[in-house]
Amino acid sequence: MSRFDQFFSDLAKKLKASEIRELLKWVRGKNVISFGGGFPSPELYPVKELAEIAKRIIEEKKHVALQYTLTEGLPELRSALKEFMERKDGIKVESEDNILITSGSQQALDIIGRLFINPGDAVIMELPTYLAAINAFNLQSPRYYGVPIDYEGIIVEKLEELLTKLKSEGVKPKFLYTVPTAQNPTGITMTMERRKRLLELAEEYDFLIIEDNPYGYILFENMEIKHLKALDKSERVIYLSTFSKVLVPGLRLGWVIADKEIISKMALLKQSLDLCSSTITQFIAYEAIVSGLVDKQIKILPGFYKKKRDAMLNALEKYMPDGVEWTKPIGGMFVFLYAPEQIDTHKMLFKAIDRGVAYVPGKNFYIDGSGHNTMRLNFSYPSLDDIDRGIKILADLLREEIEKTKA
Amino acid sequence: MSRFDQFFSDLAKKLKASEIRELLKWVRGKNVISFGGGFPSPELYPVKELAEIAKRIIEEKKHVALQYTLTEGLPELRSALKEFMERKDGIKVESEDNILITSGSQQALDIIGRLFINPGDAVIMELPTYLAAINAFNLQSPRYYGVPIDYEGIIVEKLEELLTKLKSEGVKPKFLYTVPTAQNPTGITMTMERRKRLLELAEEYDFLIIEDNPYGYILFENMEIKHLKALDKSERVIYLSTFSKVLVPGLRLGWVIADKEIISKMALLKQSLDLCSSTITQFIAYEAIVSGLVDKQIKILPGFYKKKRDAMLNALEKYMPDGVEWTKPIGGMFVFLYAPEQIDTHKMLFKAIDRGVAYVPGKNFYIDGSGHNTMRLNFSYPSLDDIDRGIKILADLLREEIEKTKA
C-alpha cells in the first residue's frame, strides 16, 4: 500500500513489474550467457554509414530535420517506404496515406489496442505469441482466445473450430494477431496454404488481421512466401514492420500499412501520444533507404544470422537429452524449446542463471497460462562460442532436472 | 458509417479530426502569415553543432547508441539531467530514479492520463489551458473542473471555492494540471504567492499537481520565480519539461521528475507504449547538455524571442481597436487576445485566412466551452515584419467585425 494508491487508476494498479524483465535486467553485465533478450547483433550495425548519414541529413535538411514533422510521418520517408514495400515485399501500397510511421512497432501495437479493443472484446492470439503484443493489448483488457501453432504456423482447423464456437455464442472477434514469418518466440513460418486459408476465414467470419513482420528480411532459406498483406484483397490486414531488426533499434521507428481510414484514425490518436516521431531519426531512416544502405543490410543479415542459428541447432542436437524438442526456424532470431511436461522452466531459470545461462521461460508467451515447460532461446545476440557453451550448460541442467523427476 | 466502424473501440469512435488542425494544415505553404502554430524559431536551431554531435556520438558510442536502451531512459542522459535540473532550475533531484525520459512531453501527458484517470475522475484545469494536454487527458474521459486565471496565474481563491464545493460533494480531484510559467496559451506566469498557496491547497485537499514547464528557459525579465517542483516538500508535484523549446523539437524528447514510485509506474507503462525513446536522440541530447550547447541556447533564446514579443505587443498597441485586450507575456511564445464578447473568433478565422493571417481560436483551450471571443497568437515563429503586417490585418478585421455588430 503506497501513498499514491489513492491517485492511481485501475490500469496503474494492474501494472506489475515483469519478474522476468527484472531478472534479465539483473543478469545484465554479469558473467552470464544470455539467450534471453531479443537484440539484433551489434556487429552488424552500420556505425560509420549511419554516423555520416546523421551528420549529412542535419546539415542538408537543416531546420526541417530539427523541427516537428507531420504526425503521420515524414513525407519523404512515407514515399520511400511506399516504393520499398512494393520492391522488397511485393506489397502494393495505393498511396502514402496508407502508411503511418510509428515510434517503433510497439507504438503501433499500443495504438491498435486502443483503437480496436473495448474491455472484454474478443481478440485471437497464437499460442505462443509475441510477449510485448500481449502486454500492449492487456492495457485494454480484452478477452483472449488462443489458437495453437505447429511447424506450419497457426493451425487453421483449430482456428475454424474456435470461430464456429464463438459464432454460436454470438461472440465476434475484433482481430487476430499473428507474426506469420519467422515468429517471435518460435521462429516458425506459416505456410502459403495456411496463409490463404487464414484470409478466407477472416473474410468468412469477418475479423481483421494484424500481421506483425519484424523478421521478414532475415530469412535463411529461399521461400516462396507472400505476406498476408500482399494477399489481402479487402484491406482486412493491418501490416506492421520496423527498422529495428533490418537496420538498428536505436532509431525507434516502425511503420504500419493499412486502409486509409484506419491509418487516419491511428494518426489522430498518435497526435495525442507523442505529436510525431523524431524527425531526425525519420530522416536517417529515409536516407538509409534511398542510399541503398537498407538493401545492403538485407543482403548481409540472413547469412550472418544463419550461422548463429546453425550453431544453436547443432548444439541442441549435440547436447540435449531425450524428450526435449525444439523448432527449426527458417528465419528470425529465436528457437523455441519444449522440455518434457514435468519441467517448469520458470522455476529452473534461477538455477540456469546460477550456472551462467539465461533464457525467457515460455509461459510468458502464452495467453492461456500454458507453456510452463517451454523456453525461448535467442541466437542473434550471443557469439558462436557462447551459443555452444550456453546450450551445453542448459542441456546438462535439463538432463539433471529430468533425471530428478524420474527418481 | 464506415465498414470499419464495427471494429473500432468506443475511444476510436470518439476521435475526431480537429477542425483547426486541418485548417492550419491546409494553410501551410500558402501565402498566409501564421500566428497559429507553436513552433520555435528555426533560425535559432544549432544546425552545425547538432550535425557534428550526431556524427560524433554514433561514431564514439557505436552500437550502444544504435541499440535499445532502458525504458526509463539513457543512464547518461538521466545523470546529466539530474545535474542540469539542480544547476538551472533549482530542483534538487534525489536520484536518477526520479527521472523518466519520454518521447516528447506529449508522451508524459498520455502516460499521466492513463496512470491517474479512471473514466469520470475529477481533474482540475486552468481556464484556458494547453490544448494538447486536454486532448491527451480526454482519452481517459475525466470529468473536468475549470479554474480561471488572471494576470497572476490561477486564481487561488476560485480554486479554493471549487475545492470546498467538491469536498462537500464527496468528490476528490486526482490532480491539477498547470503550466505556471509563461503559460501556453496566455503567456501568463503564476506569482510566487499564488504558487505557495497552490501547494498549500494541494496539501490541504490532497491532490497531485502536474507542472508542465516547456517555456521556463525563455523568460524575458529577471524574475524571482521558483518552480512548483522546487517548492514541493512532499513529492506532490510531477514536473514535465522538454528539449523541444530549449533545443529542437525534432529530437522528440522530454523528461519527468517525480517520486520514484510514480516514475517506476510510468516506466512500466511506457514499456508497453514504445519500449524506450530513441537511443540516438537521447545521446544527442546528452551531448548537447554536457558540451554546453544547451547552456548556450538558454543564453540566446530569451533575447531573440523578446524582440518578437515586443514587436507583437507594439503592433497590438498600435493597431487594435478599443475593446480588444491581450496578455503581456514575460516569457514563452504566445500572446492571448480577448475580443469583445460579441465576436466569435472561430467563425472569424475563415475571413482572417482569406485576408492572409491565421491564429488559433481560443475556445480550443477551454475545457468548459467558453472563450469564444479569444484567440492565441504565436510570436516565436513569424518574422518581425510578418508580425507587424499580420497584426495590422487582424486589427482591421476585428474593427470591421466590431463595427458590424454595432450596426
Give dist(CA A202, CA A160) in Å, integer. Answer: 10
Q: Do B275 and A104 touch (CB under 8 A)?
A: yes
Q: Do A54 and B58 touch (CB under 8 A)?
A: yes
Classify residue B407: in a domain, yes or no: no
Please give the model's pTM, rounded to 2 decimal places: 0.96
Classify residue B2: in a domain, yes or no: no
- A180 and A137 in a single domain? The answer is yes
Question: pLDDT of A33-53, one tens digit each?
Answer: 999 988 888 899 999 999 999
Indicate whether B28 pLDDT > 80.
Answer: no
Classify residue A175: in a domain, yes or no: yes
- A242 and A390 in a single domain? The answer is no
**ipTM computed for the complex:** 0.96
Least confident of A26-35, B145-154, B316-325: A26-35
- B267 and B372 in a single domain? The answer is no
Where a domain ends, among B294, B328, B347?
B294
Indicate whether B332 pLDDT > 80.
Answer: yes
CA distance A337 to chain B (A): 26
Which residue type sits at B284? I
- B240 and B306 in a single domain? The answer is no
Indicate whether B308 pLDDT > 90.
Answer: yes
Whole-number mean pLDDT of chain B? 95
Q: In the predicted model, what is the mean pLDDT of residues A354-359?
A: 94
Q: Do B107 and A273 touch (CB under 8 A)?
A: yes
pLDDT at A59: 97
Classify residue B224: in a domain, yes or no: yes
Q: Do A66 and B248 touch (CB under 8 A)?
A: yes
Total number of domains constituting chain A: 2
Whole-number mean pLDDT of chain A? 95
Q: Does B62 touch chain A (CB under 8 A)?
A: yes
Classify residue A1: in a domain, yes or no: no
- B19 vs A contacts (CB less than 8 Å): none
- A166 and A72 in a single domain? The answer is yes
A266 to chain B: closest CA residue: B12
pLDDT at A1: 61
The CATH number linked to A137 is 3.40.640.10
Percent of chain B whose predicted confidence (pLDDT) is above 70: 99
Where a domain ends, among B245, B263, B294?
B294
pLDDT at B400: 97
Q: Do B251 and A50 touch (CB under 8 A)?
A: no
CA distance B396 to chain A (A): 32
Q: In the predicted model, what is the mean pLDDT of residues B240-265?
A: 96
- B9 vs A contacts (CB less than 8 Å): 114-118, 121, 140
- B280 and B188 in a single domain? The answer is yes
What residues 305-364 of chain B have any CB closer than 8 A to a CB of chain A? none
- A172 and A216 in a single domain? The answer is yes
Indicate whether A163 pLDDT > 90.
Answer: yes
Phi, psi of B229 (to 5 degrees): -60, -35
- A67 and A166 in a single domain? The answer is yes
Interface test with A, best of B47, B278, B284 (most A CBs within 10 A): B278
Percent of chain A whose predicted confidence (pLDDT) is above 90: 91
Range of the domain at B226: 64-294
pLDDT at B273: 97
Indicate whether B1 pLDDT > 70.
Answer: no
Question: pLDDT of A52-69, one tens digit each?
Answer: 999 999 999 999 999 999
Classify residue A330: in a domain, yes or no: yes
Q: Do A42 and B66 touch (CB under 8 A)?
A: yes
**B65 closest CB neighbour out of A117, A132, A250:** A250
Question: pLDDT of A237-273, one tens digit each?
Answer: 999 999 999 999 999 999 999 999 999 999 999 999 9
Classify residue B279: in a domain, yes or no: yes
Classify residue B4: in a domain, yes or no: no
**A68 closest CB neighbour out of B39, B68, B279:** B39
Question: pLDDT of A112-135, one tens digit each?
Answer: 999 999 999 999 999 999 999 999
- B41 and B178 in a single domain? The answer is no
Q: In the predicted model, what is the mean pLDDT of residues B116-139?
A: 97
B59 to chain A: closest CA residue: A51
pLDDT at B16: 86
pLDDT at A46: 97
Question: pLDDT of B11-21, one tens digit each?
Answer: 999 998 877 77
B341 vs A29 pLDDT, higher one: B341
Q: In the predicted model, what is the mean pLDDT of residues B186-202?
A: 97
Indicate whether A351 pLDDT > 80.
Answer: yes
- B200 and B262 in a single domain? The answer is yes
Indicate whether A17 pLDDT > 90.
Answer: no
Where a domain ends, among B294, B313, B338?
B294
The CATH number linked to B37 is 3.90.1150.10
Q: In the predicted model, what is the mean pLDDT of residues B352-377?
A: 96
Q: In the predicted model, what is the mean pLDDT of residues A180-184?
A: 97
- A118 vs B contacts (CB less than 8 Å): 9-10
Least confident of A281-285, B2-6, B82-86, B356-360: B2-6
Q: How confident is the model at residue B96 (pLDDT cuts 50, 70, 90)?
A: very high
- B260 and B116 in a single domain? The answer is yes
- A266 and A343 in a single domain? The answer is no
Q: How confident is the model at residue A89 (pLDDT cuts 50, 70, 90)?
A: very high
